[in-house]
Amino acid sequence: MKQLSIFFTLLILSVGLISCSSDSPINTINFTNSSLASVAVNFRGELYQIPVGETVQLTEILDGEYEYETAFTIPPGAGEFEAGEQLAGILDMQAGTTVLIYYVGAIDQGGTYLIDATVTSSNNLAEDGFLGNPVGP
């Protein structure tokens, strides 16, 4: 009888431990397009269309490093284009990371379409020792 009660106690404990989820934070990427024409982002083998003035949010991205590439449309009135360096890159997703990729564009006086993106992350850059302590010595 004692062995049976130990068995049931262990069974209940193991079921309880298995059913507990890790509740790890969700990683999110927001693509916001404030350029003059639509952009498309190639991320994890999927192409996401982002019309002008819209934001596309991707959630539940696992931790890791992911590459992204951006394709864009040249707006009417532009003859040539100049693309910035942030239209492609690698994103480092850690537990609970939120990334914003913000696309901007303009046509200069010569008719060249200038497009670029800013990329910001909620990751703490000081954790790896890159920034040091911004408040103290």
Considering the chain, what percentage of its residues have pLDDT values greater than 70?
73
Residue-level pLDDT at 136: 47
The beta-strand segments (E) located in the chain are 27-34, 39-43, 46-50, 55-61, 64-72, 80-83, 88-93, 98-107, 112-121
For residues 107-127, average pLDDT: 90
Confidence of residue 71 (pLDDT cuts 50, 70, 90): very high
Would you kindly state where each structural domain of the chain is located, as residue ranges? Answer: 24-123
Confidence of residue 112 (pLDDT cuts 50, 70, 90): very high
Residue-level pLDDT at 4: 54
d(CA 108, CA 122): 33
What is the CATH number that goes with domain 24-123? 2.60.40
Look up tokens 């864009």; give the residue: 72
For residues 34-60, average pLDDT: 97
pTM: 0.74
